[in-house]
Each structure stands twice: as C-alpha cells, then as structure tokens.
Structure 1
Amino acid sequence: MSLTVLHLSDPHLDGGPERTARLRAALDLLPDSRRPDAVLVTGDVADTGDPVAYARFREAMEGRGPWLAVPGNHDDPARFGTPPVATLDLDGLRIIGLDVTVRGEDHGELRPETAGEASAAAEGAAVTVLAFHQPPITLGHGYIDPMGLRNPDALAALIERIGTVAAVLCGHAHTAGAGTFAGVPVRLAPGIVSALGTDPDHRPLTDGGLPPGAALHRFDGAAVTTTFHYAR
C-alpha cells in the first residue's frame, strides 16, 4: 500500500473571494501527475460559521476526489454537516475524523462517547489515521499551546485501544509542525488563511500576506513521510 493524502487546515472562509482563492491555491499545489489519493481538511473551514462560507468550501472541493473535513473551534457544528466521528476508507488505510471542539472555546477535548465511536470505527482496518483540529502536543508557543487538546490522556488510551494508528493529523496552530505522541507521529498542516508568527508577544500574531500551505503525507503501509508545500 502506497497512498498520498493532501492535508489542509484553517482556511477560515468568510464567503469572500480572497480566502476562497487561498484555499484553491492550496488545493492546486500538486500537479495532475501527483494527484493525491484523498484530501483532508482539519478544521476552521469557516471563520464565523457563515453558511455561505460552507457553500464556497463545497464548491472548491468539487472534483477533488475523496475528501474528509473535520470541524474546528470557529466552525458551526450544525452547519458543518459532519458527524462527530466520520471515516474515509482508502486502499488499506482508514482516516477517522473526530470532532473534539468545545462549543464557545478555543481548546479541544476528546469526549468519551467520541472515543468509543472512534474505536468502533477502527475495527477491521489494517492501518488507521486519526484526524482532528486541536493538536495533542505543545509547540513551545505561549499563545497556541493553551488552546490544544486538553485531555491528551484520553487520546493516548484511544490510540492504545485501536492499535493500528499510523499518524495523528491536526491543524489549529496555523503552522507546519511535527512531533510524536503516544509513540505515534503527529503532523500539523500549515494555515491557509495565515501563518503563525514565532513571537507569541507580537501583534498581530499571524501574517495573512504569506502564501497558503499544505502537508502531503505518503503512507507506505504504516510508515508515514510528510513534506510541506506552499503556493507561490
């Protein structure tokens, strides 16, 4: 099994043309000869939950092949239209998308019922990937780190229970990132709407003038290799 997943995050669509164009630029990073097997978007699809923004998102995803999106803290779960646990099956790889958002808060939480559904969803899969918005690892950034997954122990227990998790894929930080959690690779996709600055005390915290980016994950069985790409 050799599969590629184009991983995007944080387009923060507002219904206007500028942010939609940034999303499309990230989606078009790869030439047709390197078309991914699937596209994954890990949250904050819309900036304020505007239904027009979700309509623009669905339009941008048309013809992109299999894709899965999970909600972020800026999304409206009712308008997002994805259940708390959603799956995308590829050839030997199952991506399990989780809603870990907490209504009205920036941090994430893996709820017991979501973990139970995710464990059931992983049954029978040779290789699984868990995808959600807030990362379970800290990045050493004083602004972002308090907004991560607040109960990482619950995620560690889920990873152990499933037993076939090859990677955890997240967003939220608006920066590319890589780490390890519970013995599993963690990868963060760059932000589409903006890029996080390195100084947590500097305002503005993000730069919307930098190009949008994406992560490309290649899965060879349970082994994952990640490269990061940016639009020109």
Structure 2
Amino acid sequence: MSLHAEHFSERSPLYRLHQDAQLNALGDSCIVSNYGAGDERARAAHCGLLDLSNLARVGFRGAASAAYLEARGYQLPAVPNQALSQADGSQVLRMSQAEYLLLGSLQDTGARVRQEELAWQFDDTPNYLLPRQDSHAWLLLSGTCQAEVMAKLCGVDLRAEAFPVGSVAQTSAARINVIIANLPLGELPCLHILCDRASADYFWGALLDAMQEFGGQPVGLDALR
C-alpha cells in the first residue's frame, strides 16, 4: 500500500505539497523518500531542498539547562550561536547563554530527541521545556549552491569562509525570522533552516524560487543515503 500523509497522526505543514511523492514512515509521521524524477542524489549534491519538519526537535532554557543536558549525555557548544553534532547524529544548537535547541537524528528517526521532551518534568529547577515541534518547520537546503541561494533571501553572509561548519545565525530570510545552522551530513554541505510553522508554505516557495537559477529542486530522504 502506498503511504499518504493522511495515514499518520503527525503531518508536516507542507504535506499537501508532497502529494505526488513517495513517502517513508518516520516514527508516528512520515518523510518524503523521493519524488520519482531524475537523480536526486546528484540534485542534493548541487542544490536540493528537503522537508524535515516531522523529525523531532525540542528546546530547553534556564540556568540549569546546561547541567541537565550534560547529565543526559549531550556535548554542548561553548558559546552561543554555535552548534555541535553528537555521536548519534543529533545536533545541539546553543541559542543564547542559557537556551539550547536539540535537533533529532535521521539515524534513529529522532527517537532520542523525542524522548527528551517526554522525559522532562516540571520542578523547582530552572530548566524549562520549549516545545519546538509545533512552533517551527525544519527545512534542509543542501549542495554546493546553498550560500548563493540564501544570498537572495538573507542579509547574512553564509559562505563557508564567513559561516563555517557549526555556525548558527538567528536572522531573517524572505522577511521572516529564521534559525540557520551550517551542519553537513557527512560530506554533503547542508544548511538547516527553521522557520515559523505557519510560514512554512510561503518560505518553501521562496526557497524554490531562489533555487531556480541553479537548477535546484526538492529532494527526498533517498538523496541523502
């Protein structure tokens, strides 16, 4: 049986744009496997766009958040606006002195980060949960043209020499607030972009429009394997 987003309890805000794509299960949700047209691996290496909005993510804020996350086995960036990849493929972004954003790994379909949200309990410790699954969409812009694409939408210089691996920018692109992290997947250059979930449809279109000059198109998970 072919999978459709409607079969899952969790859906990306962009699911209507993926109606003709092949889907794979991703926990209780799904992810685009491929669009069935051409060599998507080559496309991802040059200029591709993937919807990761169904992959788990969660935030923590407070004076005790660093100690809490370290006790949970995470390595933390030393300063704000930096990201650090974990051994299991998840990512920790340090947004400020006392705020962190965890991005799930495709290796475990986000299970570890999803569990962090479930395990947190409110008490008198200054460590507060920031649910990000329903507040932010998560897009992955891949390939060698990513900085040129983003130059059309964003005032931050995202070229590798100015925005090296592990850098995080909290800025605006296409006139909406975004979080951008330079976090490659293996040897594949990748910018992870989080935007307001309600603006995801608009921002997806803005990215595709900026990608046209470079022959960029959407890709699925198969392109990353």
Give the number of the structure with larger relative contact order, counting CA–CA contacts within 8 Å between residues 6 or more apart: 2
Q: TM-score, normalising length from structure 1?
A: 0.26
Structure of larger gyration radius: 2
